[in-house]
Chains A and B, each alone.
Chain A
């Protein structure tokens, strides 16, 4: 058997053996994305942000209908939240990875908790502390009869244009 025949025999075998071992790697993800607008000072163009709030994140909570009866119960059902928003940029894109399903999404400010703790704590460890959160806004579906805050996420798909605005006087509609 000459060397070229050896190659013909062995390389495909190795290729298949190695190829079989290669699974797909990271699985395709699902989630949603959009743009957040922060309030600005009309003279300086800088973001207005009170010192009492340490940061802000986009959150989703389990969808319930009828809607939650209290803000605290909404916070207690938070599924996940995004990385902290950049408080220096008036307009910014965000992304939140989430499981497929229907959720209620909004923006909440963080108070009495360092932003780093939010970053590195397990997502479910904070939901027992509604006192850390202050609602700043909710997603308003455009041209839809769905309740305010409703976000649908399909498997392996990214739902786009979930835009929201920060409003320090915002009150959740429940």
Chain B
């Protein structure tokens, strides 16, 4: 027994000795980050040691601390949105604690410099080999959105057609089914397994830091659904100070100018309320919120009632690891509106559908664990559960679907040398759907990916990547996909980057496309379990230039699609099936400018996009795409407390639709170019109190996007936000 005790003591001493040897050379770096103009501390600045995974964020008093740094020479870079980045070389010697303070000068143009979506890692926007655009929280809040569907189309090249998002014309329209754009919340996928739809009401609009939009194929990193791009919604970190927020809002829809179009004398509008609280208790940060959104809608049966509960928890055990858990639950009931009663009463629903409604609830729960093993190695693991359910209570059916997806992800990031960055990972998704609309099914997806970024020259980065996906539904054929990508970024100057990318992508058919068996009005949709994945190959060359008051992005792109899945009317039986029918090519160009006028406090954003969407099989134009789109946002900062602005959105006339064609003799089913003007005013009279007044469709422009569905009328909204 004595011997054993002795061995234990000796072992403990030995480990202690080894530990001392191993970590004896580690030092820490700490300091403060201040505003150069005001001298005030800056919370939320990111301080990183370039070429490593080591870093920290400054706290409420601007203090940061990076522990366990091996001795050596480092480039310390400090970045913060709205401020010029600074970097400084530091030599960390044998002294155990080093101190370094930074003073940041304010940038005139307040746009995020760091993006995380293009390469599944944090990188400067200028270094990205693919098109990435960003929307900040400010941009969103000013416009009082009920869902992100209201604001994402203010970005160049993005349209949402009755809930179906298109990035550069990727998706077209299939009643929301089978999105070709992946949506992530803090990196966790949020697309339902059953119909591959994005439920906009199930995506957060509160406490967002920014939204990143990858405009191009993302399958080499994100798999199926990312064929046309990725929208990554990034929530704000929990602040260090305790914070409570109360938001009250309301909106009013204008009456149409023609008596016949008015379906009720009652005022039409919306109301919303939100209460949230966040605080930190030691290393633990907690945030919880509740939101109630009610609306009558602007058309008959366009009403909804939504109750939302959301929460987030962050736990940092030490600067090298942190655990984040986030959940979002929504209980929703809304009316159903498929198409108007007739064109003279476009806001009326047909009489037999007047009491149609849909009950639904959705839950997303994701937990992410990040750990830095060494300055050169880090790991991210994520567990995600996504549940969506709906129950139709329609005049002609009471179908339902409940979809569960449990997914696990594991990603390693390694920097073998200062000029190389390796990213690799594994993903597994288990899916289950219980439904009478398309039957009950099980499936799984598994994937592995690897990406290597190398600075082949000091000004040139080359990125190569590959992802292997396996997709299986029930006992049907298992599909396997390999999607490579190649990217090149050349820094032609300090502020100018040229990029080129080539990427293969795919989208596996969703349950709805394979198994739907439904009839609505005269449309009868039948299953097609033989559907195969659709594939694409996309190329892009682009230019990105920025300085402290201006940002310019120009892209020329082209994507070829094979076996595009589309709903097709079978000429034999006139039933609709989803089929792999089309070879297509979408090519185009996109230009966006973002700048602050010299000498004037005016922020201008202009985005123009042109696409040529060709159906190569039939040599026609692809349906539900706009050739030209233009977005202009003008924001004037009148004072520190008041800002105001205007939005203008133009979409050229949609050339081709699939169902109701224009009748040139009678004028029925006419489509027009779309011109929409919006405006907003923000007043911050005292600290913590904000008034946001906004208006959409200011000039009450009448238009349809999807056949026989009138676009939204003028909507004036006021929101009061108080934080304490």
- Which A residues contact B (CB, under 8 angstroms)? 3-4, 6-7, 10-11, 14-15, 18-19, 21-31, 33, 79-80, 84, 86, 89, 92-95, 97-99, 114-117, 119-120, 122-124, 158
Tell me if B639 and A3 are in contact (CB < 8 A).
yes
Majority secondary structure, B binding face:
loop
Tell me if A80 and B668 are in contact (CB < 8 A).
yes
Asked if A14 meets B343 with Cβ closer than 8 Å, knowing A4-B638, A116-B569, the reply is no
A residues near B343, Cβ cutoff 8 Å: 29, 31, 95, 97
Asked if A120 meets B569 with Cβ closer than 8 Å, knowing A7-B638, A33-B344, A97-B668, the reply is yes
Complex interface: stretch among B22-30, B296-304, B697-705: B697-705
Other-chain contact of B670, A11, A26, A30 (Cβ < 8 Å): A26
Asked if A116 meets B574 with Cβ closer than 8 Å, knowing A3-B601, A6-B602, A97-B343, the reply is yes
Smallest beta-carbon distance B683→chain A, Å: 13
Nearest chain A residue, comparing its CB with the CB of B639: A3
Complex interface: stretch among B321-329, B476-484, B533-541, B642-650: B642-650
* Complex Cα spacing A25 to B698, Å: 13
A residues near B699, Cβ cutoff 8 Å: 19, 22
Tell me if A120 and B667 are in contact (CB < 8 A).
no
A residues near B342, Cβ cutoff 8 Å: 33, 94-95, 97
Tell me if A26 and B704 are in contact (CB < 8 A).
yes
| A-B pair number, CB within 8 angstroms | 119
A residues near B524, Cβ cutoff 8 Å: 116
Tell me if B665 and A79 are in contact (CB < 8 A).
yes
Asked if A11 meets B677 with Cβ closer than 8 Å, knowing A6-B601, A25-B701, the reply is no
Q: Most chain-B Cβ atoms within 10 A of its Cβ — which of A4, A21, A30, A98?
A: A21
Tell me if B602 and A158 are in contact (CB < 8 A).
no
Tell me if B675 and A80 are in contact (CB < 8 A).
no
Whether B121 is near chain A, meaning CB under 8 Å from some CB there, is: no
B residues near A79, Cβ cutoff 8 Å: 665-666
Asked if A98 meets B677 with Cβ closer than 8 Å, knowing A11-B644, A25-B702, A33-B342, the reply is no
Other-chain contact of A3, B569, B574, B638 (Cβ < 8 Å): B638
- Which B residues contact A (CB, under 8 angstroms)? 258, 260, 341-345, 351-352, 522-524, 569, 573-575, 600-602, 632, 634, 636-639, 644, 646, 648, 650, 659-661, 663, 665-668, 670, 672-673, 675, 677, 699, 701-704
Asked if A3 meets B636 with Cβ closer than 8 Å, knowing A19-B677, A29-B667, the reply is yes
Other-chain contact of A22, B575, B667, B677, B704 (Cβ < 8 Å): B677
* Complex Cα spacing A33 to B644, Å: 46
In the complex, 6 of the A-B residue pairs with CB atoms within 8 angstroms, ordered by the A residue number, are A7-B636, A15-B646, A28-B258, A95-B343, A119-B522, A123-B665
A residues near B668, Cβ cutoff 8 Å: 29, 80, 97
* Complex Cα spacing A3 to B641, Å: 12
Other-chain contact of B675, A23, A31, A92, A123 (Cβ < 8 Å): A23
Smallest beta-carbon distance A30→chain B, Å: 8
Smallest beta-carbon distance B79→chain A, Å: 29
Asked if A21 meets B648 with Cβ closer than 8 Å, knowing A79-B666, A80-B668, the reply is yes
A residues near B344, Cβ cutoff 8 Å: 29, 31, 33, 95, 97, 158
* Complex Cα spacing A43 to B463, Å: 76
Smallest beta-carbon distance B533→chain A, Å: 28
* Complex Cα spacing A80 to B701, Å: 28
Tell me if A115 and B522 are in contact (CB < 8 A).
yes
Tell me if A120 and B659 are in contact (CB < 8 A).
yes
Tell me if A93 and B351 are in contact (CB < 8 A).
yes
Other-chain contact of B703, A19, A25, A29, A84 (Cβ < 8 Å): A25
Smallest beta-carbon distance B701→chain A, Å: 4
A residues near B574, Cβ cutoff 8 Å: 114-117
Tell me if A80 and B665 are in contact (CB < 8 A).
yes
* Complex Cα spacing A14 to B341, Å: 37
Asked if A25 meets B672 with Cβ closer than 8 Å, knowing A3-B639, A6-B602, A97-B666, the reply is yes
Q: Most chain-B Cβ atoms within 10 A of its Cβ — which of A26, A89, A98, A122?
A: A26
* Complex Cα spacing A122 to B673, Å: 22
Q: Most chain-A Cβ atoms within 10 A of its Cβ — which of B634, B644, B650, B667?
A: B667
B residues near A99, Cβ cutoff 8 Å: 665-667
Smallest beta-carbon distance A87→chain B, Å: 10
Q: Most chain-A Cβ atoms within 10 A of its Cβ — which of B602, B659, B665?
A: B665
Tell me if A116 and B677 are in contact (CB < 8 A).
no
Smallest beta-carbon distance A124→chain B, Å: 8
- The list of the 10 closest CB pairs from A to B, nearest first, reads A95-B342, A116-B574, A25-B702, A114-B574, A97-B668, A26-B702, A22-B675, A22-B699, A25-B701, A3-B638
B residues near A98, Cβ cutoff 8 Å: 666
Nearest chain A residue, comparing its CB with the CB of B574: A116
